């Protein structure tokens, strides 16, 4: 099918341009040592021959890799990804592309598999760095990845990421804002549907929720820890709305659960927001597609992803290493929140 395709190498370019391959290499890495004229001639020849440096060879000798790894850990059952990740990935990509880097993506089933994967990637020098998401309490990835010396940035509050530089949003403050907003509307029974109990940011949000409710003299114990899938959100919502003194407002940890929650309310004959107010998180396009559109704690996930990529570059080439806080999610009121019915 593609027989004897005579691969063009740096040697061909060098020969044709009448220089040594060292010169070609210098020219292509814009390093000093070649005159402007020669440089130009080299480029011309390269274009003419259609030559591009062989990335594999390049990274073998320069010990640099233009690939970063991202493993996302979801149970097998939950096949797709949340909208959050799609936007997040596209944000990462946008910055990676600036440096013509690429993203190596893999979905894994558990943290052990994730560690093994990173180990293979790193030891096999497939990636130059990694992006770590979804931190758990006492996350086993921290010691493992630290031991192997993999450059990485974490997504999550610095208190969770075991010393890895992280990019994070102030979820605690955002939760407090959400709670105060709902309380100001007149809600007193506010519930929260969160992610899995062991997950770091769920913990932070859960605690912040409790504190904020307590400060207002309200009962902050209406919290459910569940998965992140829509069905989890549906089940949790159903449970909450069937309790005797059911909440009049529910805060969700992502948007897909909130959408599911809205459907459950409809199915139970409850009107949003009169009977129950719903507040989503992560505000993807999903929130604008329901009726009523969902109020959300929104943040620029695309930008977030970009900052993560930038931070990773900092770590990889040693110029960075500090954690970075990106803007706190802010309330975007839409139709799904309002004063509770008298």
Partner DNA sequence: AGCCAGAGGTGAACCGGTAAAGTGCTGGTT
Partner DNA sequence: AACCAGCACTTTACCGGTTCACCTCTGGCT
Q: Which of residues 129-158 bind a second copy (CB under 8 A)?
A: 149, 151
- In angstroms, give the least distance from the CB of 320 to a second copy: 11
Omega cis (within 30) before 192: no
Is position 181 an interface residue for DNA (rule: CB under 7 A)? Answer: no
Residue of 209, 257, 210 whose CA lies nearest to 237: 257
* CA 234 to chain CA centroid, nearest Å: 24
Whole-angstrom distance, CA of residue 282 vs CA of residue 32? 47
Q: Tokens for 202, please give them.
A: 């769920």
The partner in contact with residue 188, picked from DNA, a second copy, none with C-beta cut-offs of 5 to 8 angstroms by kind, is: none
Cβ distance to a second copy smaller for residue 207 or 324: 324
Q: Select from 16-24, 28-36, 103-111, 189-197 the region that touches a second copy (CB under 8 A).
A: 103-111
Residue 147 binding target from DNA, a second copy, none, CB below 5 to 8 Å by type: none
165 within 8 A of 313, measured Cβ to Cβ = no
DSSP, res 291: S
Token digits of residue 32: 């000093």
Residue closer to DNA (CB basis): 38 or 94 = 38
> Smallest distance, Å, CB 128 to a second copy?
11
Q: Which residue, 34 or 280, has its beta carbon nearer to DNA?
A: 34
Residue 102 contacts which entry, DNA, a second copy, none (Cβ below 5-8 A, type-dependent): a second copy
Beta carbon of residue 292, minimum distance to a second copy (angstroms, whole number): 8
Identified binder of a second copy from the candidate list 15, 38, 43, 106, rule CB under 8 A? 106
Q: Closest approach of Cβ 69 to DNA, in Å?
A: 19
The answer to whether residue 54 forms part of the interface with DNA (CB under 7 A) is yes
CB atoms within 10 A of CB 36: 7
CB atoms within 10 A of CB 2: 4
Site string for a second copy, 39-68 (x = CB under 8 A): -----------xxxxxxxx-xx----x-x-
CA 157 to chain centre: 13
Regarding beta strands 295-298 and 249-252, do their DSSP bridges make them parallel or antiparallel, or are they unpaired? unpaired
CA 266 to chain centre: 31
Return d(Cα 79, Cα 300) in angstroms, integer: 25
Long-range CB contact pairs, 98-105, < 8 A, 24+: 99/66, 99/313, 100/66, 101/66, 101/67, 101/68, 102/66, 102/67, 102/68, 103/67, 103/68, 103/69, 103/70, 104/67, 104/68, 104/69, 104/70, 105/69, 105/70, 105/71, 105/72
- How far apart, in Å, do the first and last CA atoms of the chain sit? 75
Q: How far is the CB of 148 from DNA (least distance, A)?
A: 15
| Cβ atoms of 69 and 127 closer than 8 Å | yes
Q: Whose Cβ is closer to DNA: residue 28's or residue 85's?
A: 28
Q: Which residue's CB is nearer to a second copy, number 179 or number 235?
A: 235
Q: Give min distance, CB of 29 to DNA, in A.
A: 5
At its nearest, how many Å lie between a second copy and the CB of residue 175? 24
> Does 120 contact DNA by CB under 7 A?
no
Q: To the nearest whole angstrom, how small is the minimum distance from the Cβ of residue 336 to a second copy?
A: 12
Contacts with a second copy, residue ranges (CB under 8 A) = 1-2, 5, 50-57, 59-60, 65, 67, 79-81, 83, 85-87, 89-91, 93-94, 97, 100, 102-107, 119-121, 123-126, 149, 151, 229-231, 233-234, 256, 259-260, 262-267, 284-286, 288-291, 293, 302, 318, 321
Q: Which residues bind DNA (CB under 7 A)?
A: 7-11, 18-26, 28-29, 31-35, 37-38, 51, 53-54, 57-58, 60-63
């Amino acid at each position: 099918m593609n027989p004897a395709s005579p691969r063009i190498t740096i040697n061909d370019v060098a020969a044709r341009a009448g220089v040594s391959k060292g010169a070609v290499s210098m020219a292509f890495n814009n390093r000093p040592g070649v005159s402007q004229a020669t440089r130009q001639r080299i480029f011309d020849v390269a274009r003419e021959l259609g030559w591009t440096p062989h990335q594999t060879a390049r990274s073998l000798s320069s010990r640099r890799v233009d690939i970063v790894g991202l493993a996302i850990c979801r149970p097998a059952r939950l096949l797709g990804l949340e909208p959050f990740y799609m936007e997040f990935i596209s944000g990462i990509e946008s910055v990676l592309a600036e440096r013509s880097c690429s993203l190596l993506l893999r979905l894994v089933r558990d943290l052990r598999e994730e560690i093994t994967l990173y180990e293979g990637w790193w030891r096999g020098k497939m990636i130059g760095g990694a992006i770590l998401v979804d931190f758990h309490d006492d996350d086993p990835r921290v010691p493992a990845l630290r031991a192997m010396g993999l450059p990485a940035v974490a997504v999550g509050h610095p208190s969770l990421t075991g010393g890895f530089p992280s990019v994070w949003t102030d979820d605690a403050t955002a939760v407090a804002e959400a709670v105060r907003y709902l309380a100001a509307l007149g809600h007193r029974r506010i519930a929260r549907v969160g992610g899995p109990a062991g997950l770091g940011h769920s913990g932070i949000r859960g605690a912040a929720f409790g504190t904020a409710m307590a400060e207002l003299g309200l009962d902050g114990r209406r919290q459910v820890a569940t998965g992140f899938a829509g069905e989890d959100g549906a089940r949790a919502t159903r449970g909450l709305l069937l309790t005797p003194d059911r909440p009049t407002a529910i805060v969700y940890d992502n948007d897909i659960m909130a959408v599911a929650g809205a459907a459950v309310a409809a199915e139970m004959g409850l009107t949003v927001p009169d009977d129950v107010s719903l507040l989503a998180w992560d505000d993807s396009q999903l929130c604008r597609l329901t009726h009523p559109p969902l109020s959300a704690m929104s943040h620029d996930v695309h930008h977030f992803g970009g900052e993560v990529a930038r931070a990773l570059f900092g770590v990889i080439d040693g110029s960075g290493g500090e954690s970075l806080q990106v803007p706190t999610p802010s309330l975007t009121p839409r139709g799904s929140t309002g004063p509770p019915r008298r």
